[in-house]
Amino acid sequence: MPTIIICYFFAYFDRINISFAKFQLQDALTLSDTAYGLGASLFVIGYVIFEVPSNMLLYRFGARKWLARIIISWGLATAAMVFVQTTWQFYTLRFLIGAMEAGFAPGVLYYLTTWFPASHRGRITALLFLAPAFSGLVGSPLAGLILQKTEGLMGFSGWHWLFLSGGLPCVPLGLLVLRVLKDKVEDAPWLDSEEKRWLTEHIRPQHSGSREKSLLEAIKTPGFIALAVVYFLVQIGSYGLNFWAPHLIRTAGVTDASTMGLLVAGPYICGAIAMIVTGRWADSAGQRHHVLAGLLVIAAIGFTACGIFDHSLVILVVALAFTGLGMVAAIPAFWSLPPKLATGVGAAGGIALINTLGQMGGIVSPYMVGRIRDLTGSTTPALYGISGALLLGAFVVLFLLPPGLRSKEGSE
């Protein structure tokens, strides 16, 4: 888990970096808010196109080798941002970074289903998603500090150093994955034979009563499309927070990059705490869909308040805290649901499909907010739209998911 969490930290550090580099990128490349939003969306388009094929290859070649390939390639592509000089180069490289990272998140989620019993799914998923929370918590102040302190260092702009710091460490990290991770419980040198037997026996019951499904059969399983719709709506909110929180803070009057970084870290602190609490509660109560719906409602309230009080710094920071609490914790709460639908290659491909369709929300959200801001001069209408999307997601979770996903887990 520590190795996986560090990898996931760097995956989300890129999302933090692009949001903090926004202002310098716009100045250097003469980008409008719409063009910036399009570049952010192109990352997701590359991610979406190659998501399912990448996860099927992970199942074929093994998680250890394929995850290492993903990490090294996205790290090199991220570091290559230092060579961007035109708008089209920005668009091309953001697409390439998304393509290189495709398959990582669902690949890790599938990998964890082969190591942890269903009874631990909530807390392990929450532990995994501490990484994006800490990317915001640690990465936001760090990004602000890098931008402020490295401007002009060795002839590079601050945003150049920002992308180098997020990309180059991924190369040795990928090599570490090759050395540390194991594809099967039986291959783990830190477990003795009795521990391997015990763990294998406790993982197997979560698959009992249902045969391993192919990708096509998994897609036809009631619930996959509904979950994809929910994740699409969740990602509209997630990308809204990740890409536009620094902009909201700056609009409220904060111009110092280091101070901005500290304030942006606040929502992720709240989200990290909520993640741990709700993960354990979902495991004990078994009503995972109730937890997810509640978090989406909290995040919707936060986005609405951000729109109303966008020029009042104190209230805006509090509103962002609610947004982070609901949004950051909602993602691991969501990902405890899909493994209930399929196993084996069906799980690998099905989880990737849900993530692929859901990530389209990441295409819609950055472009939508940028476009609305260019047209109206304000982010407020877009924030209300994001809030409505999250409330719709909560409605789907509570009333439209199939009974198997809405039943109490202890009764399955």
Rounded distance, CA 127 to CA 389, Å? 26
Lowest mean pLDDT among 76-90, 198-212, 303-317: 198-212
Q: Which of 190-194, 254-258, 320-324 has the highest mean pLDDT?
A: 320-324
Identify residue 188 by its one-letter amino acid code. Answer: A
Rounded distance, CA 44 to CA 91, Å? 11
Rounded distance, CA 224 to CA 216, Å? 11
Residue 338: pLDDT above 90? Answer: no
Predicted pLDDT of residue 346:
54
Q: Average model confidence (pLDDT) for the chain? A: 83
Rounded distance, CA 240 to CA 97, Å? 19
Sequence-distant (≥ 6) Cβ neighbours of residue 350 within 8 angstroms? 213, 215, 218, 219, 221, 224, 338, 341, 342
Identify residue 220 by its one-letter amino acid code. Answer: K
CATH of domain 2-181+193-207+216-401: 1.20.1250.20
Residue 204: pLDDT above 70? Answer: no
Residue 211: pLDDT above 50? Answer: no
pLDDT in tens, 394-411: 999 998 887 766 666 544
Give the number of other Cβ atoms within 10 Å of residue 286's Cβ. Answer: 16
Predicted pLDDT of residue 80:
94
Residue 412: pLDDT above 60? Answer: no
pLDDT in tens, 161-198: 999 998 999 999 999 999 888 888 888 888 888 888 88
Take residue 368 and report the two structure tokens written for it: 């939508």
* Rounded (10°) CA dihedral 163, 164, 167, 168: 180
Rounded distance, CA 295 to CA 234, Å? 10
Rounded distance, CA 362 to CA 190, Å? 39
pLDDT in tens, 123-152: 777 778 777 777 777 877 888 888 888 888
* Length of the chain measured in residues: 412
